[in-house]
Amino acid sequence: MSERTRVSGAVPGAPARGGGSGNPREGTDTGPREGESTASGTSERERRLPLAALLALATATFITSLTETLPAGVLPAISADLGVGEPAAGQAVTVYALGTALTAIPLAAATASWRRKRLLLAAMAAFAVANTVTAVSPDYLLTMAARFAAGMAAGTAWALLAGYARGLVPPHLQGRAIAVAMAGIPIALSLGVPAGTLLGGTLGWRTAFAAMTVLTLGLIGWIAALVPDLPGRRPERRTAALRVLAVPGVVPVLLVTLLFVLAHTVLYTYIAAFLGRAGMGGSTDLVLLAFGAASMAGLWFTGAHIDRRLRALTVAGVVLVGAAAAVLALSVGSPAGVYAAAVLWGLGWGGAPTLLQTAAADAAGDAADAAQALVVTLWNAAMAGGGVVGGVLLGLFGALSFPWSVPLLLAPVLLVVLAARTRGFPSHRPAPAGPGGG
């Protein structure tokens, strides 16, 4: 298969590959297409990312990530409105994560043959319905059920987004494509959560969730108009989620995902408690803003270099987050030290979603879709577990113990990354397979 034929089936406006047959050439004309009369046109397409489509995927990660953490910023209002205590209201975040963690694998398997655009539109529509129910629900149990459903929809989307982004570009641009698609996560953490908290505090928490519905409806139109379709995976090409564990390199990536996200979540979830104990309780928003801005810088750098330096970037990310935690632990009473730690933390963490999704897809090869579902499951299990572990640490050792827990969790992460130099986190990335629907 020529490179021109493979790439031309993966750009906006081009037909979906092979009509779902799995053969990019089947049913296609190998001659020049309209507007594609010279090799220079092909070369230009190979150098450019389909930004309109990738930014739509990034918006999907933004909305789903923001919706997951939004209740934390409006917890007192939810508690008062639904007539429950704040600990019970706080389970809105846990239930969402559980909805994703418990259903990502079975839903990914059940929808593996669906065309990618159809599946993403269905997930976003379900997400809009769940957020609408949350916005109008007068009952605590109904609200929790809606949050669980929203987590299911988000998990379905997250399991396909990285593969979708890879499938839209030629192999040498796949890392950058995932970086763009994952950009919604740091943007949600740095800008979305404060904005949602402000909106909820000004107009009410229900308005904040209704705004998520409005954004989602706009995104559905965007996807329908500008995101190319890709085929699902034929039954004979699917890999069971648990069977992918036997593929060399997959288990190290999953172990790194679990521990890296757990270490981050313990600190992030309880950063307000730590800053309050450190005498900076009124600066939580500014510290998180510094973290978020640095995360976007880290993501940009990762996207620029991931296709050649995945292993080095992963090692650097782990080391930076560990160093940030150590600086934070030693900076109690020093605002300058805290802000410096937040910047190091963001630089190290910003590229983590892209690095882990790319490493999983590279290691799994043809079983990338199953590996992505496992990454999503472990990611959200770690997020839920981070709240539990952090609560135990808070009760036993106090808020100042959080930064010290991070290096302990990251030490085995660094060892696994360093050991997985041939499979999982290789010194040189393997030549990716041709783009697929993921």
Find the CATH number of the domain harbouring 319. 1.20.1250.20
- Is residue 232 domain-shared with residue 259, that is, in the same domain? no
Rounded-to-integer distance, Cα 35 and Cα 24, Å = 20
- pLDDT for res 169: 92
The answer for 249, left when phi > 0, alpha when psi is -120 to 50, beta otherwise, is: left
In a domain, 386, yes or no: yes
Please give the structure tokens belonging to residue 376: 């999503």
Using CA atoms of 92, 95, 96, 102 in order, give the dihedral in degrees to the nearest 10.
Answer: 180
Residues 300, 355: one domain?
yes
Could you tell me which residue, 203 or 222, shows the higher pLDDT?
222
For residue 30, name the pLDDT band (cuts at 50, 70, 90).
very low
pLDDT digits (tens, 9 = 90+) for 282-303: 787 788 888 888 988 998 899 8
pLDDT in tens, 359-391: 998 898 877 778 888 888 898 888 878 877 887
Structure tokens of 371? 């590996």
Please report which confidence band the pLDDT of residue 349 belongs to, taking 50, 70 and 90 as the band edges: very high
pTM as predicted: 0.75
In this structure, the number of other CB atoms found within 10 A of the CB of residue 139 comes to 11
Token couple for 144: 């929790």
Clarify whether residues 214 and 253 are in a common domain: no
Dist CA 245 CA 263 (whole Å): 23
In a domain, 36, yes or no: no
Instruction: Using the 3D structure, point to which of 238, 272, 301 is the last residue of a domain.
Output: 238
| Count: domains in the chain | 2
For the chain, helix (H) and strand (E) counts, in that order, are 19, 0
Give how far Cα 29 sits from Cα of 4, 72, 160, 182, 365, Å: 12, 53, 29, 34, 28
* Co-location of 206 and 326 in the same domain: no
Residue with tokens 């629900």: 137
Phi, psi (degrees; rounded to nearest 5) at 423? -135, 135
- For residue 35, being part of any structural domain is answered with no
Question: Domain check: are 295 and 342 in the same one?
Answer: yes
The verdict on 263 and 204 lying in the same domain is no
Least confident window among 67-81, 120-134, 139-153, 199-213: 67-81
- Mean of the per-residue pLDDT values of the chain: 82
> What is each CA distance from 348 to 185, 384, 425, in whole angstroms?
14, 21, 17
The predicted structure's pLDDT at residue 43: 53
Whether residue 30 is contained in a domain is answered as no
Whether residue 29 is predicted with pLDDT greater than 90 in this model: the reply is: no
At 231 the pLDDT is 92
Check residue 130 and give its pLDDT: 97
Confidence tier at 35 by pLDDT (50, 70, 90)? very low
CA distances in angstroms from 215 to 197, 211, 219, 220, listed in the order given: 16, 6, 6, 9
What mean pLDDT is predicted for residues 236-241?
A: 58
Q: Where is average pLDDT lowest: 78-82, 194-198, 310-314, 418-422?
A: 194-198
For residue 136, the tally of other CB atoms under 10 A from its CB is 12
- pLDDT at residue 186 in the model: 77
Of 209, 238, 267, which residue constitutes the final position of a domain? 238
Asked if the structure places residue 31 within a domain, the reply is no
What would the mean pLDDT of 403-413 be, rounded to a whole number? 94
Residue 38 included in any domain: no
DSSP structure class, residue 367: G
Residue 10: pLDDT above 60? no
Asked, for residue 20, whether it belongs to a domain, the answer is: no
pLDDT at 36: 41
The CA distances from residue 389 to 72, 183, 264, 381, in Å, are 17, 27, 12, 12
Average the pLDDT over 126-148 and give the result: 96
- In b/e form, how buried is each residue of 317-353, taking b as 16+ CB within 10 angstroms? bbebbbbbbbbbbebbebeebbbbbbbbbbbbbbbbb
Question: Could you tell me if residue 6 is inside a domain?
Answer: no
Structure tokens at 158: 């997250």
Assess whether 274 and 405 both reside in one domain: yes
CA pair distance 426, 419, nearest whole angstrom: 9
Q: What is the mean pLDDT of residues 209-235?
A: 93
Residue pair 438/162 in contact (Cβ under 8 Å)? The answer is: yes
Q: Please say if the pLDDT value at position 264 is more than 60.
A: yes
- Shared-domain flag, residues 231 and 250: no
* Residue 340 sits in the same domain as residue 220: no
Domain boundary among 195, 212, 238: 238
Q: Is 25 exposed, middle or buried (0-12, 13-18, 19+ CB in 10 A)?
A: middle
> Residues 138-141: contacts with CB within 8 Å, 24+ apart?
138/82, 139/82, 140/82, 140/83, 140/84, 140/88
Asked whether the predicted pLDDT for residue 432 surpasses 80, the reply is no
**pLDDT over 70 (residue 24):** no
Structure tokens at 34: 């309209």
Query: Are 86 and 216 found together in one domain?
Result: yes
pLDDT for res 104: 87
Q: Which two tokens stand for residue 339?
A: 């802000």
In this structure, the answer to whether residues 103 and 246 fall within a common structural domain is no
Sign of CA dihedral 368, 371, 377, 381: negative
| Cα 251 to Cα 238, 280, 303, distances in angstroms | 18, 40, 24
Q: What is the pLDDT of residue 8?
A: 36
Comparison of pLDDT for 246 and 255, the residue scoring more: 255
* Dist CA 370 CA 228 (whole Å): 22
Is 201's pLDDT higher than 90?
no
Q: By residue range, what is the domain housing residue 348? A: 240-431
Count of C-beta atoms within a 10 Å radius of residue 118: 12
Q: For residues 312 and 184, state if they share a domain.
A: no
